[in-house]
Each structure stands twice: as structure tokens, then as C-alpha cells.
Amino acid sequence: MISLKKRLMLTYALFTGLSLAVLTCIINLSIGAMFSRLIKSNIRERSGEIIATIAEQYDPLSAGFDTAALGALGMCFVHEGYIVRIEDALGAVIWDARDADMLHCAAVMDEIAGRMEHNYRLKGTVEDRRYPLPYGKETIGAVKIETYGPFFYSETEMGFLASINRVLFAAGLSFIVLSAAVSFFLASAISRPIVLAGQAARRIAGEHAGGGRGTGKTARIRDDYKTRELRDLSRSINELAEELDEGERRQRQLSADVAHELRTPLSCLQGTMEAMIDGVWEPTARRLASCHEEILRLSKLVEDLNLLTSLEWENLALDKTNFDLAELLDLTAEQFRPAAGEKGIALEKDLAPCPVYGDYNRLKQVFVNILSNAVRYTDRGSVTVRVRPAGEGADKGFLEVTAADTGQGIGKGEEDRIFERFYRSDLSRSRNTGGAGIGLTIAAAIVKAHGGRIGAESRAEGGTLFRVELPAGGGKNTENPKNN
């Protein structure tokens, strides 16, 4: 299979060659046509000069010509390709080049004919024209001039034309060499970034094949090309390498998180069960309840991981019904009032009736995750829950739910990343509070499945504001049938 570089070079070379051939033909035809017109004009002018020169040899006193001078001039004209015959006013021949030297005249015409046919593929014939011979206001005779027609080149003119052809040939050869160099440069400039992108893609595939531990660092390529398409391609490869590298980092983080989350309850269960089996501890109701609590914790983690897998493959089924979103938020917020009271946090609600068509349990899971984070990371102040129609304009037809706290807030640049799978803005804090780092990811996926939007931002007065927008209305909407 031919490479892109060779294909580009061949294409450019073919285009250049055809363009040069067409241009050469046009130039040759144009120059040939212009030069032939020029030569015909020169022949007419030279014929006029010959007639004037012959007229100068007329002696009005004797009413005759200097035949010796006419003979010398006539043979000079023959050398130029002009065979002259001079007649007086009565038509009598005064001097005729053919009579003077028939063989020489024939040789000159044959040489001109052979030269024109051989060099220029022009097959002509000997043409003669008869001109009056004036002297002052009188006509003293006539001049018959034979030439090779329709035109012929003199040696000087042939040399000039040959010079033009040599210049054109040199220019064409230079253009071919230059075009070859330019085609090589352009083909290299276009194909090299693509080749580098392909090599980088193969390196990425090799590094990440089979869940390998490639870092993707070796796959970075130059992405500052001036050509937009090449720049976009290179940046796409680099972004892919970065995303895969980040994905592997998150995967390793997930493994560490899952191991951490499983280790604590399993260690607790193992120690308690071994103590009861060895008879060190009595299997009391309290100890069994502790084991049951750890089992529930494990079940919750496994359930969240299964849900995350379902969301990742976009096959989460939604059981939609009509209900009031304000009532759902009211019940959800009340679940956190005891925890807020223990920390001395005020739990405030500003809820207006807002009918919605959605999955009650899944949406409750969304707001449980949001409020759980708000209460968990707020040590003083308040947590405020609010729901209202989103308003006019582009957001018309949506319900807006906000949960504002006065807690630790979100770091700069982390507003979007906190919804990414397994992302932790503070790893130690998340572990101490028992989170697995997937609650907000699940919440974002559920909101998206409802056709809504979710976001978070740091508040100017401190804390975090979570905003959820859901399509408003009662009755069925245009959700995917598989979700209904």
C-alpha cells in the first residue's frame, strides 16, 4: 500500500507536470503565433527596403539602371532569401537573379525549405509577389520578389528563436526541480504529523493494552502546527493520552479506594467472628448488630459500584411517575436534621410546589448525596435547600434546586471535576468521612438521564452551592421509551 507521503508527492508531481506541459504548449503556441506575425511583417518591410534600394540605382539622365550594381545587390538579396527580378516600364527584364545564377538561387531556396521543414515542421512553397518600382512620382518599372512562403526565418531570427527555446527549457527544468523540492517539503510537512500521530496512537495502545501501567507520557507529540487540521489532530492525540493516563490514575485510585472501603468492614467482621468462634467473645446481640452494620456497609458499597457500572453503560432504567419535587426535598432534608442538629448547623428550606415527572427513588438518591456532602463538610453555619421554576429564556420549562452550605467550599478549578468518577479533592478527608468518591458521579448521571443539568460553584461568602435543573411538568414527556 502506497504511503501518504508518496501519494502526495506523486499527486503534486503529476499536477505540476501537467500544468507545466499545458503552460509550455500555450507559451510555445503564443510565441510561435506572435513570432510568425512578426516575421511576415519583417518580410514585407524588407521587400519594401529592397524596392527602395533598387530604385536608388536608377539614373534619370540616362533613363537606365547601373546593371553592375543591380547584380551585386541582387546576389546579396539572394543570400537573404529574396530572389529578385527587375523589369522596366515596358516589361522588359533588366536583371533576373535566376538568369544570373540559377543554381545558386535554387540552392538557397532548397536550404531554406529544408531548414523550415526540419526545424519547424513547416512545409511551404516558393511565393512571388510583383511590386511597382517608383521613382519620385513616376513608375519606372516593376520588381518581382520570390520568397519561401508563407514565411521563413533568417539565421539571426532562428538564433533568436533558439535562444527563447533554451530559456524556456531552462525555466521548465528549474521549475520541475523546484516543484520536486516543494512537493517533497509539502508532503513531508503534511504526512509527518499524521505519521507521528499514528505512532503515538500505537504507543498509547501498547502502553494501555490489557490494563497496563503505561503513563502515556511517551505518547505526547508536537501540537503547535500552523495548519488547523494538523494542530487539531495532534492535540486530539495528546488529549487522548492525557485522558487515558488520567483514567488509569483514577482506576488505580478506585482500586485503592475499594480496597480501603472493603478492608475496614472485613477486618472488623473477621476479628469479631474469630473472637466469637474462639470463645473469647460471647455472640451477644450488640456484637451481632455490629457485624450486621458492617455487612450493610459492604452491601451499600457493592450496590453503588453496580449502579455506577449501569450508568457507565447507559442502561439505567428509570421508573417515572408524577410527583411534587418540593415534597421529595422536604422529606429528604428532614432525614439530615438530626445530623445537622448534632453539629449545630441550621437546616433551612425554601420550597415551592413544583410538579415533576421522574424517578422518585433515583432523584431522592441525588439529593441524599448532595445534602449528605453539604452536612458532612459544614462545621458551622447553615445548609439551605431551595426549589423554584428556573425562570425565563433558555431555562424556561426547568425546575431549579439549590443546596447552599457554609462549609469548606470547593478548590479553584474543581467545580466540574467533583462529578467525575472516583475524583477526590481531598483524599484523606474523603477516607476519614467514609466516602467512596462516587456519590456525586452517580447523582450527575441520574440527573443527566432525566434530561437535566447539575453543577457546583464556590460561594463568595464561603461554602458551596449545588444547582440541579430538571425538566418541569406533569405527565409523560419525551424520554427514551426504555427509561419509562
pLDDT single digits (tens) 226-270: 777 777 888 888 887 787 777 777 677 667 767 766 776 788 788
441 versus 476: the higher-pLDDT residue is: 441
Residue of 358, 362, 366, 375 whose CA lies nearest to 401? 366
- Please tell me the distance from the alpha carbon of residue 106 to that of residue 146, in angstroms, as a whole number: 11
Pairing of strands 382-389, 346-351: parallel
**SS3 state of residue 455:** strand
Residue of 315, 311, 304 whose CA lies nearest to 254? 304
Count of residues for the chain?
484
483 versus 456: the higher-pLDDT residue is: 456
Torsion of CA 161, 167, 169, 174, to 10 degrees: -170
| CATH number attached to the domain at 4-174 | 3.30.450
Say which residues have a Cβ less than 8 Å from residue 241's Cβ, sequence separation at least 6.
200, 204, 216, 217, 219, 220
Give helix 102-120 / helix 67-80 axis angle, nearest 10°: 20
pLDDT digits (tens, 9 = 90+) for 173-230: 888 888 888 878 877 777 777 777 777 777 777 776 655 555 445 567 777 777 777 7
- Please tell me the distance from the alpha carbon of residue 31 to that of residue 188, in angstroms, as a whole number: 38
Residue of 421, 412, 424 whose CA lies nearest to 456? 412
- Please tell me the distance from the alpha carbon of residue 75 to that of residue 47, in angstroms, as a whole number: 15
pLDDT at 315: 61
Given CATH 1.10.10.60, say whether it is the number of domain 320-483: no
Q: Are 370 and 443 in contact (CB under 8 A)?
A: yes
Q: Are 423 and 395 in contact (CB under 8 A)?
A: no
Count of other CB atoms within 10 angstroms of residue 220? 15
pLDDT at 117 over 80: yes
In 40-91, which ranges are E strands? 58-59, 64-65, 83-88
Q: Write phi, then psi, for 142 (nearest 5 degrees).
A: -145, 155
> How far is the CA of 318 from the CAs of 342, 445, 447, in angstroms?
35, 12, 11
Position of cell 413544583?
354
pLDDT at 392: 54
457 versus 168: the higher-pLDDT residue is: 457
Q: Where are the domains of the chain?
A: 4-174, 260-312, 320-483
Q: Binning pLDDT at 50, 70 and 90, where does residue 302 land?
A: confident
Cell representation of residue 132: 511597382
pLDDT digits (tens, 9 = 90+) for 313-338: 556 678 899 999 999 999 999 999 99
Beta bridge partners of 88: 141
- Please tell me the distance from the alpha carbon of residue 70 to that of residue 133, in angstroms, as a whole number: 14
Helix residue spans in 57-154 (DSSP H): 67-80, 97-100, 102-120
Instruction: Convert 160-197 into a string of H (helix), E (strand) and C (coil).
Output: HHHHHHHHHHHHHHHHHHHHHHHHHHHHHHHHHHHHHH
pLDDT at 116: 84
pLDDT at 357 over 50: yes
Beta bridge partners of 351: 387
Residue of 311, 248, 249, 253 whose CA lies nearest to 440? 311
The alpha carbon of 312 is separated from its chain's Cα centroid by a whole number of angstroms, namely 31
Q: Binning pLDDT at 50, 70 and 90, where does residue 370 land?
A: very high
**SS3 state of residue 150:** coil
DSSP structural state of residue 396: T
> How far is the CA of 88 from the CAs of 83, 139, 269, in angstroms?
17, 9, 143
HSE toward the beta carbon, residue 148, CA cutoff 13 A: 24
- Please tell me the distance from the alpha carbon of residue 233 to that of residue 7, in angstroms, as a whole number: 20
Strand order in the sheet with 382-389: 346-351, 382-389, 398-405, 464-471, 453-458
